[in-house]
Amino acid sequence: MRISAALPTGVAALLFESARRRRAAEERLVARLGEAGYAEVILPILDYLEPYEALLTQATRGELYRFVDRDGELLALRADFTPMLARLLAPRLASLELPLRLFYRGDVIRFQEERAGRAREFYQVGAELLGLAGGAAEREVLRLFLELATAVGGGSLQVVLGFAGALDHLLLGAETDDPARLAAAVARRERGEVRRACPRLLGVVENGVPDRPEDLGPEAEGRLLDLYALADELSAAFPGVRLSIDLAEFAMSSLDLRLVAGEGERPYYDGLVFHAYAGPAALPVGGGGRYDRLFHSLGAEVPAVGFAISLERLLETRT
Amino acid sequence: MIRLALPKGRNLDAALVAFRAAGIGLDGLNGAGRSLRTRLPEEGIEVLSLKDWDLPLYVTHGIADCGIVGSDVLEEVDGDLLVPLRLLQGRSRLSFIGREGAMPAPGTQVRLATKYPNTARRIVAGRAWGAEIVKLSGSIELAPILRLAELALDIVQTGRTLAENHLVEIETVAEVSACLVVNRASYQRHRALLNDWIGRLEAAGVVS
C-alpha cells in the first residue's frame, strides 16, 4: 500500500532547516525569558472541557476540538494557554508567593474555516505576570514582548494598542437596537453604518481615537491618557517599532455583556490589549493584554497581564 | 508606495469611475493594457490586477494594502478585512432565480446551484425549505434552464439575461456593491493616505 504524504488541513510538519530555525528562535526567546525572571510551566495538550464552559463565547467554542474520552469524559485539545494556566493556578494562588512570572511554549490547536494561511496548529511562546497591579505590570509585559518580537522577527514590527471597553460608553449610547452589530461595524471600519448610528464614533473609525476624548466617558478618558503616556515611553525605548493607539481595532473587546466578544478576539481581556503585526506583508504575530476578570471568574482575585507570540508567523517575516 | 488591488470585470469600471470622480489619479492605468502590475510613481500607487475571488486573499495577507471587491465575494470568503466604504456605482442584487413559480414550498427539498455555497448555506438555514447546494463556477442560469437545479442563487444586474432565458428573479436576498477593503495592519501604516482617499470618495458622492 502506498501511503500519501498529505497531512490534514491546517497542520504542517517542519523538516530539517525549518525545524532547526524554529528551535533556534525558540531557544533565544526562552533564554531571554529566563533572564527576565520568568519560570517555565509545561501544560498538557488536553483537558476536561467543563472548567472552561463558563469562559467560552460562541466564537471560542467554535474553535475547540472536543471529544469524548474512552471513560466518557468530555475533553478538549488546548486552544489557548492563558485560560488553562489560570484554571490551574486559581485554586493554588493562596499558597503561592506573588508576583509570579511564568512562561510557556507549545502548540495550540484551533479549528478555523479552511482559508489560505490559516493554520489550525500554532506554536506559541508566551508569558504571564500575575500579582502585580496597575501600569507597572503592563509596562513590564509590553517591554518584554517588544524585546522578544524584535529579537526574532524580521523587523517592521507594528504594535496596535487599545483597552477593553474603551468604546462601551459610546456604543451603548448610540442610536441602535443592536450595539454588538455596531461594534462589529466599528471594528471593520464601516463608515456608512457607523455614521448612521453614532457620528461621534467616526473619529475613532478614522483615527483610532475620538475627536474629543471626553466622549469615551470619564473612566475610559483617563485610561486613554495613560495609554498615550505608555505609548510615548515605549516609542522612545523601541524606535524601530511602529506603535499606534487604535480603539476601533478593539471595538469588540468589551466589558459589557450586551457587546459580546467577536470572532477571534480572546474574550477575557479587561484592560490593556494589543495586537502585533510584522514583516512586509504585516502578518499578525502576537498579542496580549490584561485579564484580571479571567481569574475573577475562576474565584481568585489577582491582577494578571500576559502575551503570546506565534513563533512560526514571526519567523516567516524574516525571509 | 501603497498597493491597490483592482478586480477584473464589472467591478473594475465601478472602481475607476469612483476613483476618477474623487480625483485619485489612476489615469496612468489607461495605457497599461493587460499588465498585471502597474506602477504609478507620481501617485505613489502600485496597482495589481486580480480576479475577484483572489483579491480578498491578497489583501488579507497584506500583499496588497487595499482593494476593491464585490460584497458578494467578500461575504463568501469571509476574510478578516476592514471595509470602510461601499461604492454606489455598479450595484447589483444577489437573488434566487428560477423558472416562474420555482420558489420552494415549505417543507420541500430542492437543488440550488450557485457560485456562493457558503452564503447559500447561511441563507437556506433560515428558510422553511431545504436545499442541496451545487457549486458551479459560471453560467449559473443554465442550471435551472436545463433542470440541474430548481433554483439558482446568483447576481442579477439588469435582469436581461434572465428574461432572454425565460427565468425570473424570484427573491432578492442581498444588495451587492463594490467595497473598498483594507488590510488591518496596512490601515495603521497608511492611515493618512487612506483617510484622504476615503474623504475624497465621500465628498465626490460616489459611496453609500
Residue B39 β-bridge partners: B46
- Closest approach of chain A CAs to the CA of B84, in angstroms? 4
The residue that leads in pLDDT, B79 or A223, is A223
Instruction: Give A 66-85 residues with CB within 8 A of chain B.
Output: none
Total domains in chain B come to 2
Task: Provide the pLDDT for residue B158.
Answer: 87
SS3 B49: strand
Average pLDDT over residues B124-139: 93
* Residue ranges of domains in chain A, CATH in brackets: 1-151+300-313 (3.30.930.10)
Q: What is the distance between the alpha carbons of residues A241 and B86, in angstroms, rounded to a whole number?
A: 33
Please check whether residue B208 lies inside any domain of the structure: no
- Both B37 and B105 in a single domain? no
Question: Do the beta carbons of residue B72 and residue B53 sit within 8 Å?
Answer: no
- Closest approach of chain B CAs to the CA of A210, in angstroms? 15
- Both B76 and B27 in a single domain? yes
Task: Provide the pLDDT for residue A2.
Answer: 78
The residue that leads in pLDDT, B118 or B80, is B118
Task: Provide the pLDDT for residue A116.
Answer: 62
B33: left (phi over 0), alpha (psi -120 to 50) or beta: left
- Both B120 and B158 in a single domain? yes
Q: What is the distance between the alpha carbons of residues B93 and B175, in angstroms, rounded to a whole number?
A: 5
- Both B6 and B86 in a single domain? yes
Task: Provide the pLDDT for residue B79.
Answer: 75
- Both B43 and B67 in a single domain? yes
- Both B70 and B170 in a single domain? no
- Both B157 and B169 in a single domain? yes
Q: Which three cell numbers stand for residue A94?
A: 493562596
Q: Is the pLDDT of residue B33 over 70?
A: no
Question: Do the beta carbons of residue B39 and residue B21 sit within 8 Å?
Answer: no
Hey, which bits of A153-236 come out as E strands? 158-163
- Closest approach of chain A CAs to the CA of B54, in angstroms? 11
Task: Provide the pLDDT for residue A4.
Answer: 83
- Both B133 and B198 in a single domain? no
- Interface A-B, measured as beta-carbon pairs within 8 A, has a size of 65
- Both B117 and B76 in a single domain? no
Give the DSSP H/E element, type plus range, for residue A182: helix A179-187
- Both B86 and B181 in a single domain? yes
Average pLDDT over residues B124-150: 93
Nearest to B141 by CA among B109, B181, B110, B96: B96
Identify the band that residue B202 occupies on the pLDDT scale cut at 50, 70 and 90. Answer: very high
How many C-beta atoms lie closer than 10 Å to residue A242's C-beta?
16
Average pLDDT over residues B62-80: 91
- Both B73 and B108 in a single domain? no
pLDDT by residue for chain A (319 residues), tens only, comes to 678 888 988 898 999 999 999 999 999 999 999 999 999 999 999 999 999 988 888 788 889 999 999 999 999 999 999 999 999 999 999 999 999 999 999 999 999 877 666 789 999 999 999 999 989 999 999 999 999 999 988 778 999 999 999 999 999 999 888 898 999 999 999 999 999 999 999 999 999 999 999 999 999 999 999 999 999 999 999 999 999 999 999 998 888 877 765 555 677 899 999 999 988 777 789 999 999 999 999 999 999 999 999 998 899 887 6
For the whole model, what pTM was predicted? 0.89
Phi, psi (degrees; rounded to nearest 5) at A122: -125, 150
Of B80, B182, B208, Cβ closest to residue A192: B208
- Both B31 and B78 in a single domain? yes
- A251 class by beta-carbon count within 10 Å (0-12 exposed, 13-18 middle, 19+ buried): buried
**CATH number of the CATH domain containing B187:** 3.40.190.10
Q: Is the pLDDT of residue B106 over 70?
A: yes
Please compute, for residue B155, the number of CA atoms within 13 A of its CA located in the half-sphere on the CB side: 19
Which residues, 6+ apart, have CB-to-CB distance to A302 below 8 Å? A93, A98, A130, A131, A292, A295
Q: Which residues on chain A are in Cβ contact (under 8 Å) with B182?
A: 189
B133: domain range? 92-176
The residue that leads in pLDDT, B33 or B122, is B122
Least confident of A61-75, A90-104, B74-88, B171-185: B74-88
